[in-house]
Amino acid sequence: MNTRDKPTVVAEPRKERRKSDEWRTALTRIEPNKILMRGYPLDELMGRLTFGEAIYLLFMGELPSPGIGRLMEAMLVSFIDHGITPPSTLAARNTATTGAALRACVAAGLLGFGKYHGGDIESCIQFLDNGLDMVRKGASLREAAERLIEGCKENDETPPGFGHRFHTRDPRAARLFQMALELEVEAEHIQMIRAVEIALQEHCVPGEKPLPVNIDGAIAAVCGDIGIPPSIANALFIISRVPGIAAHADEERVRQNPMRQIDPKDHTYDGPSERRLPERRK
Amino acid sequence: MNTRDKPTVVAEPRKERRKSDEWRTALTRIEPNKILMRGYPLDELMGRLTFGEAIYLLFMGELPSPGIGRLMEAMLVSFIDHGITPPSTLAARNTATTGAALRACVAAGLLGFGKYHGGDIESCIQFLDNGLDMVRKGASLREAAERLIEGCKENDETPPGFGHRFHTRDPRAARLFQMALELEVEAEHIQMIRAVEIALQEHCVPGEKPLPVNIDGAIAAVCGDIGIPPSIANALFIISRVPGIAAHADEERVRQNPMRQIDPKDHTYDGPSERRLPERRK
Amino acid sequence: MNTRDKPTVVAEPRKERRKSDEWRTALTRIEPNKILMRGYPLDELMGRLTFGEAIYLLFMGELPSPGIGRLMEAMLVSFIDHGITPPSTLAARNTATTGAALRACVAAGLLGFGKYHGGDIESCIQFLDNGLDMVRKGASLREAAERLIEGCKENDETPPGFGHRFHTRDPRAARLFQMALELEVEAEHIQMIRAVEIALQEHCVPGEKPLPVNIDGAIAAVCGDIGIPPSIANALFIISRVPGIAAHADEERVRQNPMRQIDPKDHTYDGPSERRLPERRK
Amino acid sequence: MNTRDKPTVVAEPRKERRKSDEWRTALTRIEPNKILMRGYPLDELMGRLTFGEAIYLLFMGELPSPGIGRLMEAMLVSFIDHGITPPSTLAARNTATTGAALRACVAAGLLGFGKYHGGDIESCIQFLDNGLDMVRKGASLREAAERLIEGCKENDETPPGFGHRFHTRDPRAARLFQMALELEVEAEHIQMIRAVEIALQEHCVPGEKPLPVNIDGAIAAVCGDIGIPPSIANALFIISRVPGIAAHADEERVRQNPMRQIDPKDHTYDGPSERRLPERRK
């Protein structure tokens, strides 16, 4: 700064610290040599909670039951990566090719979740809740499903949580529902989404693209049934994809030349061929 | 666009798809109704791998051993949140107070990892590798540690991975080293960082602020010993803090008024008081 | 990557380049040694258009008239900075204190434009257009204004483009309207927003906080009157604040210690005292 | 939060506001109904300064001379857009295709400035300053240029500010140097960069790709000669490209279908054909 006018230090009137300025947080308390997350010393959680369980504790305030803990892990694994197809991953790779820091690539990737990509979790929970409201007022599951579908048709919208650009049947959704059944947490949201899926199948005209439940829909229904509110379900979604975005940005920097024009159609997969988990892992 | 000149469609000479345009990825293969991460069907991984193990598989290409899997979880848990003290968390909260989408808040938070915050993992692995080079050339661990410290003093720098703004002893680092010992993965990087810590203690003048190993240093040493390269260690660091940033952004939106001026000194913790894990969890 | 299974290169079926893959852009054509923005060689624009005029050309496709060019500059200047009060600026400063790159600080700052901050331009143009629809259907300006205000009251909302956290009268809005009048571009959107302002004043109960037109509202009205569509008005808004965010991030790095806890209430202004432009500038 | 343990409000020991917490800013002072940027009322600047001049005032603290003001505009215009070729623009378009907010697209684009893209301004000024140091110690411009080039060759690096992926001669650089000459601000940095350019031409083996000064180099040299420090030159660079990134994101949303896979090779330009400025503009 080169100021010809003599700069002046302006003494601000000493602002008082008012009660009303106080604000509160219930997440983590920091004391010298102590980090208490939701009351638990973080070092005691290390080795005793998995990352997925710790995420549940952080957002929900309490430890998950064993069943809910396993569902948390499954939901987080289900969305960890989807190859180079999503625009978010391509945004991260386009950032990585400039030599940007990894954190910048991941941030750019996250910004590529928008209305049409990763935005369905919250609207899908709302959609299912609307149906369950009808059920509480006396409609059968089937009637509620029909009315939900009709509402979407009127607005020329695909029901949130249904359909996929690449898959006609989403294997992740099927697996998540199976686990919810086995772990005995299946409840009304899963029943509602299945009722909608069945009704959609019945409406499906031969030759038309089918609209199966996708992983967004499955996560939304499971979150609804285990009491995770929509905004936190949305956070889990974001958290689950960060490793995938980071891995693509890292691979871009390690395996490709900088400043290339990235053309998604030109890629080839050269990783391991299809394989099965070893027995001890099943 | 209101163009008075008549717009012209310029026919680009048809670009040929050249072999050299091809590029490769080894992370995830997408086929209709099939998602293969490192060769494994993603739906088969659900319920069989934890999120931490899946992160290892995604980045390293193979399943972790049980011991390394447990260390992965512990590292990810150790860095999950540090209250409202980090600038990255405050950047996310300042973004959240404007009513921005959660993904935007998380991205803003991630961008608040810079040279002085979360940037130590890579330089710390390099620092330890420099010391191990000396050992390989005949120096004792102690001599190597002394020379590393001297190098930092000459540049008037704190050794990377040491010291903390709030803690004089980082409980997370101690716990991580203990687990590495129990799981029998402790090797030369951990020995090197401990040699540096001991040497720093001996140099410490009474009254001076001590420089204990911090969680960055501990993660760097453990990653070095289990074969995780620096750029991936850095990715793990970013991944581990995303839940904390997201939880603070979510709490800001739920508990505070929008468009407030966030003053970190005015906050109060009102979560659960200190507590212990139930017996079954130990 | 350490893959025990032998990696396989999977030959993708050669994808054909289809007509339908083609997409179009009308902004800038790149040829060897030639950059044509909206048809004009960029080097010919240098020295002949101001930055503000070039921004207009880029978005609108044609050169602005001299009057519209001057309004563009005035709008861009009006929003260039608002000190350390906006959350977006604080997000950028919190990012800068970590030693992050300037581009990362600016990105974090931009993300701090949300529903409650900088989001009013588009909704304000919509709001005024709703009023003008009523006028076209026969209502007087005054009746339309009353109905618009009533609609906001019913939803317990502040009319978009009105009110300010710090100012009871926004000097930038007044100046922009004066310029629009002098440059003879004032038209129905400005008349509509003034009718709303007058009606709000008449409704204002003594002691209540007044709701003057703010700079968002003024920019929205001027953009409406000179034919800039809402999404481009929003882009201008973002563009205009980037210098302010960047200047604060730069000042943070130059004048403050890294890794500080930024408390907006503790700041003092030490720049030049109030001064007037030299005569030749008027 | 569902806490089985009774939550406790922990009364933090009342922190004192210390002198040392105070921090200072010299950019903009906010008072009720008054916004003073560098001491000038912002509403008085409107209509009297161009955006480019206001940017200079904000960063440098004083009004620019008329010549420097014109160079500011020219530099900002020169870099405003480069079509769909830069990775930053592709990152922004990939974000836009998801339906993300414009600010998120712009932020993602900015993050795609990295080591290899837009990062040359600061290193180029440093490079030229190194040469000028040699001149001050007695070397001729030519000798200094030779030594600078030799240094780059030893590290197998392209001299910063030279070479372009698309152009063998950058028309923007030539125009900027011409303006600097006409406006009589040409000084030692421009002389140094020209000496390097001549030396590079002489070294150039027939058939090898030439390394002309690019726009980064030209901006760096001009900034050096008019006293703009490297970090601010870098800020100008970021500011100048924001309109381009925003315009591409806006065009993506208006003209393309959402969730498309963006393949840069498939695009066609359909804007106005090449044209000249009208006479009154010259």
B243: nearest CB among A58, A251, A255: A58
What is the tens place of the pLDDT at every residue in C34-46? 999 999 999 999 9
Neighboring chain C residues of B5 at a CB cutoff of 8 Å: 39
Mutate which: D2, D254, D273, D277, vs B, most B CBs within 10 A: D273
Output Rg (C-alpha) for chain B, integer angstroms: 24
| Nearest one of A135, A131, A132 to A151, comparing CA atoms | A131
End-to-end CA distance of chain D: 66
D114: nearest CB among A38, A39, A98: A98
pLDDT of B109 reads: 97
B267, containing H or E segment = strand B267-269
Mean pLDDT of A167-195: 95
Does position C255 have pLDDT exceeding 80, yes or no?
Answer: yes
Residues paired with B7 in a beta bridge: D272
What is the tens place of the pLDDT at every residue in B43-85? 999 999 999 999 999 999 999 999 999 999 999 999 999 999 9
Contact B134, C138 (CB under 8 A): no
Neighboring chain B residues of D6 at a CB cutoff of 8 Å: 273
Mean pLDDT of B161-167: 88
Total CB pairs under 8 A between chain C and D: 355
Does position B216 have pLDDT exceeding 80, yes or no?
Answer: yes
Q: Which chain A residue has the Cα nearest residue D56?
A: A1
Measure CA D67 to chain center: 19
- B19 pLDDT tier (thresholds 50, 70, 90): low
Does position A205 have pLDDT exceeding 90, yes or no?
Answer: no
CB crowding A37-48: b at 16 or more within 10 Å, else e: bbbbbbbbbbbb
Measure CA A162 to chain center: 15
The answer to whether B3 contacts D273, with C-beta atoms less than 8 Å apart, is no
Does position D136 have pLDDT exceeding 90, yes or no?
Answer: yes
What is the tens place of the pLDDT at every residue in B258-282? 999 999 989 999 999 999 999 888 7
C116: nearest CB among B60, B85, B98: B98
B212, containing H or E segment = none
Q: Which chain B residue has the Cα nearest residue A179?
A: B47
- Angle at A108 (CA atoms; ends A103, A110), nearest 5 degrees: 95
Does position D11 have pLDDT exceeding 50, yes or no?
Answer: no
What is the tens place of the pLDDT at every residue in C89-124? 999 999 999 999 999 999 999 999 988 888 788 999
Instruction: State the average pLDDT for chain D.
Output: 91
> Of B163 and A58, which is predicted with more confidence?
A58
Neighboring chain D residues of A105 at a CB cutoff of 8 Å: 111
Sequence letter at residue C250: D
Neighboring chain C residues of D94 at a CB cutoff of 8 Å: none
To the nearest whole angstrom, how far is the Cα of C30 from the nearest Cα of chain D?
Answer: 6
| Largest pairwise CA distance in chain C | 80
Does position A4 have pLDDT exceeding 70, yes or no?
Answer: no
The answer to whether C98 contacts B90, with C-beta atoms less than 8 Å apart, is no
Q: Which chain D residue has the Cα nearest residue A263?
A: D263
Contact B243, A38 (CB under 8 A): no
What is the tens place of the pLDDT at every residue in C264-273? 989 999 999 9
pLDDT of A20 reads: 62
pLDDT of C8 reads: 47
Instruction: State the average pLDDT for chain C.
Output: 91
Contact D260, D97 (CB under 8 A): yes
The answer to whether C268 contacts A12, with C-beta atoms less than 8 Å apart, is yes
For residue D85, give both structure tokens: 């070729």
**Which chains, if any, share at least 3 CB pairs under 8 A with chain D?**
A, B, C
Neighboring chain C residues of D271 at a CB cutoff of 8 Å: 25-29, 38-39, 61
> Per-residue DSSP letters for A3-34?
-SSPB--B--------GGG-EEE-SEEEETTE
Q: Which residues of C touch A (CB under 8 A)?
A: 1, 3, 5-12, 15, 21, 101, 103-104, 107, 111, 265, 267-273, 275
Neighboring chain B residues of A94 at a CB cutoff of 8 Å: none
A270: nearest CB among C5, C7, C111: C7
C42, containing H or E segment = helix C42-45
Predicted complex ipTM: 0.93
A268: nearest CB among C9, C265, C270: C9
What is the tens place of the pLDDT at every residue in A238-279? 999 999 999 999 999 999 999 999 999 899 999 999 999 998
B35, containing H or E segment = strand B34-37
To the nearest whole angstrom, how far is the Cα of A282 from the nearest Cα of chain B?
Answer: 6
Q: Which chain D residue has the Cα nearest residue C58?
A: D247
pLDDT of D143 reads: 97
Q: Which chain C residue has the Cα nearest residue D268?
A: C24
Q: Which chain D residue has the Cα nearest residue C66?
A: D281
pLDDT of C18 reads: 56
To the nearest whole angstrom, how far is the Cα of A220 from the nearest Cα of chain B?
Answer: 16
For residue A168, give both structure tokens: 């006609």
To the nearest whole angstrom, how far is the Cα of B143 from the nearest Cα of chain A?
Answer: 30
What is the tens place of the pLDDT at every residue in B184-213? 999 999 999 999 999 999 988 888 888 999
Contact D166, D211 (CB under 8 A): no
The least confident of A20-24, A49-53, B86-90, C72-76 is: A20-24
Q: Beta-strand (E) ranges in chain D?
A: 23-25, 28-31, 34-37, 40-41, 267-269
Mean pLDDT of B83-98: 96
What is the tens place of the pLDDT at every residue in D202-253? 988 888 888 999 999 999 999 999 999 999 999 999 999 999 999 999 999 9
| Nearest one of B86, D250, A48, B35 to C98, comparing CA atoms | B86
The answer to whether D113 contacts A98, with C-beta atoms less than 8 Å apart, is yes
The answer to whether C2 contacts B115, with C-beta atoms less than 8 Å apart, is no
The answer to whether A98 contacts D105, with C-beta atoms less than 8 Å apart, is no
For residue A105, give both structure tokens: 């690539």
Write down the pTM of the prediction.
Answer: 0.93
Neighboring chain A residues of C268 at a CB cutoff of 8 Å: 9-12
pLDDT of B203 reads: 85
Residue B27 CA: distances (Å) to CA of A33, A267, A271? 39, 12, 6
A87: nearest CB among D9, D97, D116: D97
Sequence letter at residue C191: Q
Neighboring chain B residues of A90 at a CB cutoff of 8 Å: none
What is the tens place of the pLDDT at every residue in D43-101? 999 999 999 999 999 999 999 999 999 999 999 999 999 999 999 999 999 999 999 99
pLDDT of D20 reads: 62
Residue A2 CA: distances (Å) to CA of A109, C265, D239? 40, 26, 22
pLDDT of D124 reads: 94
The answer to whether D43 contacts C260, with C-beta atoms less than 8 Å apart, is no
To the nearest whole angstrom, how far is the Cα of D141 from the nearest Cα of chain B?
Answer: 33
Neighboring chain D residues of A258 at a CB cutoff of 8 Å: 115-116
Contact B38, B139 (CB under 8 A): no
To the nearest whole angstrom, how far is the Cα of C213 from the nearest Cα of chain D?
Answer: 12
pLDDT of A11 reads: 41
3-state SS assignment for residue B167: coil
B103: nearest CB among A238, A243, A274: A238
Mutate which: D12, D105, D261, vs B, most B CBs within 10 A: D12
